[in-house]
A and B are shown apart, each in its own frame.
Chain A
């Protein structure tokens, strides 16, 4: 080996839960076995989310000269070649490496503050965190800043809550600090329930100490002595790593009595949710923490005045808290250089849906949607035209392709009828039916409404029924107007954010895709070929060779025909799964509107 003696090779394996789902653990074990018995002097490291989730399992090889190479879709049987060619002979295995252009393209427009350590450090090692200035901000705050100065700095940074509502974090802390009472609570909201959102999960799995440090600084600022992390039970790996991180931080003296010889004492407990979306809403979360049904309540009083067990309480989102240490360490003025005047800093997005580069990104506010979807995300995975994006989950809305130049800031996004939300960004191409999407979200709301407000419970059910009949081909004249009217009522008469924002997906699809609603209602046509009642699968006799493959795959035996004779689909039996179309090698299956094909 020709590497300099002082520094050897380093291999990092991305072991966040999506990496593990793709088989990264097997890759890690194979590497560990292989490197162990060859004594190559290579450091093998576990790390969290690297961000290129679409390339997983992903490993990074760092040479002694610090040249970094990423290998994608690694399997245990690719390891030998990577080690012998790259590490021993010093030649990249180019066909498996992620090309430099791809990495540059992904990173060029990103700014990583929240994700600063994700994919770099080992989330299970406090030493790793300490080596990248971990807990330095806490030391700085405790030894050189008063609580008011900390609040002043966070206020000056312009940071706004990343959990959805966008309330200025420093101002919120100020309320909690001023609230009278000996005992105060600080809560980290890790209930992340928006479909399509996995930002908080990745941060907790990849850099749990950064969230803990943020909580400690927040606790110091508002005068709290007890912290809670409320995390969804669906995130077992995040919970594991948090538990480990808390234990290590306690041992190191960052959590406990008189932390770092200051007079600040703070403890943190983890509490798991139990599968109720509404518990992400802050007042419902408080009820749940008290061991009750998670029903939201009227505000005021705000949690800052009367929160957990009636005590002053401050609730912040995971991503909000992960910004704090960086801001304290680097200063508010450096942070506020990023972003726009009213939306400072960066935002993490989870790109999902029909996108080439699905994964986790962090961008400065003010970037356009187009830059996110095309420059970073690489456009649609199907190669078809972009139709729209969905942002903000069930509280958010749809933004059509024509508005892709909208800058990502709180106000511009709200103007489109959507919201910034927590960071889920779902890309849709021509094959997505907008009415189906609206129906989909209302169905979700129906299941998750806590049932307290009649309009949220019953109004959304009425809306769902209308959408269902439209997708089933039974839409009537006046349905669109009725939907819009119900939507206004639900918005107005709901107590919590869930109901108040539930109509947004319907309202935005009507606003931008009214013609599709009309097509469904008047022409019984679904241009995306999605609504089962409005489409037909048929076999084109001229193209069919009678191979019978489709009949073998059809799950409901809807296809019949003699060998070598054109086959036929029984439309009454067919459940429109589309499998026959996927498996036919002769392009003989077509899907069309009922009339066209009939």
Chain B
């Protein structure tokens, strides 16, 4: 079996910063980023390397909203539902995305392509309603532009 892509990242971080508990969160963040979720073997690996009990690792994963042990879609859609976006009808955008992708907030599409989440303010409030898809930001969303953006990714 070839080494999982997350392993190189974790080794990098540990080489640079040492085998200290402090790097648990950066390691988990890196694994989440490359794999889209935290797979079981990664947890065992961290447990060994950093000498942290696995319950503690699970504790950390469940505490932070961006970490998950469930496989996420290729595109993670984070739709803001904080006040300025809410005032500009972000719930209508949510409905468009839900309908278009056939999934609800918190779910991943069966083909593994999309994960939909509603999140707190993305700092794009002057362009409310706003969302991020992976690292890209989108603002001033309307029903029409949202459909276009999704169609492009589906294309």
Interface residues of A (CB under 8 A from B): 17-18, 20-22, 53-54, 56, 192-198, 201, 233-236, 271-277, 288-294, 350-354, 358-359, 390, 424, 426, 428, 432, 437, 440-441, 444, 447-448, 450, 555, 575, 577-579
Contact = CB atoms under 8 A, between A and B. Distances in A.
Contact of B95 (A17, A274, A555): A555
Nearest to A577: B92
B123 A235 contact: yes
Given A276-B65, A352-B84, A291 B23 contact: yes
Contacts of A274: 25, 28-29, 32, 64-67
Interface in B31-75: 32, 52, 56, 59-60, 63-67
Contacts of A294: 63-64
A426 B84 contact: yes
B119 interface: yes
Contacts of A201: 123
The listed residue with most A CB atoms (<10 A of its CB), out of B23, B82, B137, is B82
Contacts of B89: 577-578
B127 interface: yes
Given A22-B140, A294-B63, A196 B132 contact: no
Contacts of B103: none
Q: Please list the 10 inter-chain residue pairs (A to B) with the smallest Cβ-Cβ separation, ordered nearest first.
A: A195-B82, A275-B65, A274-B64, A275-B66, A291-B24, A352-B125, A358-B126, A198-B123, A195-B121, A21-B137
B64 A197 contact: no
Contacts of A54: 126
Nearest to A205: B123
Given A18-B139, A195-B84, A428-B87, A290 B22 contact: yes
Given A234-B78, A272-B25, A351-B126, 7 more contacts: A195-B83, A196-B84, A276-B64, A290-B22, A437-B83, A440-B86, A555-B96
B122 interface: yes
Contacts of A428: 87
B113 interface: no
Contact of A579 (B92, B119, B125, B128): B92
A115 to B, nearest CB: 15
Nearest to B80: A195
Contacts of B26: 271-272
Contacts of B86: 440
Contacts, number: 144
Nearest to A431: B87
Given A21-B130, A22-B140, A275-B66, A291 B120 contact: no
A522 to B, nearest CB: 26
Interface string B114-155: 000001111111111010100101111001000000000000
A18 B127 contact: yes
A545 B61 CA distance: 57
Nearest to A309: B22
A297 B65 CA distance: 20
B137 A20 contact: yes
Contacts of A193: 120-121
B146 to A, nearest CB: 12
B87 A197 contact: no
Contacts of A352: 84, 125-126, 128
Contacts of A21: 124, 127, 130, 137-139
B9 interface: no
A291 B125 contact: no
B87 A194 contact: no
Contacts of B64: 273-276, 294
A353 B87 contact: yes
Contacts of B128: 352-353
Contact of B82 (A196, A276, A575, A577): A196
B124 A236 contact: no
B83 A277 contact: no
B139 A291 contact: no
A18 B125 CA distance: 9
Nearest to B122: A234
A152 to B, nearest CB: 34
B21 A291 contact: yes
A275 to B, nearest CB: 3
Nearest to A381: B88
The listed residue with most A CB atoms (<10 A of its CB), out of B24, B122, B140, is B122
B126 A198 contact: yes
Nearest to B120: A195
A353 B121 contact: no
Contacts of A236: 135
B124 A198 contact: yes
B120 A18 contact: no
A53 B126 contact: yes
27 contacts: A17-B124, A18-B124, A21-B124, A21-B127, A21-B138, A54-B126, A192-B123, A195-B121, A196-B82, A197-B121, A198-B124, A271-B26, A274-B64, A290-B21, A291-B22, A291-B60, A292-B21, A293-B59, A350-B125, A351-B126, A353-B125, A426-B125, A440-B83, A447-B120, A555-B99, A575-B95, A579-B143
B22 A289 contact: yes
Contact of A353 (B66, B78, B83, B122): B83
A276 B95 contact: no
A233 B66 contact: yes
B127 A194 contact: no
Nearest to A272: B29
A197 B24 contact: no
Contacts of B125: 195-198, 350, 352-353, 358, 424, 426
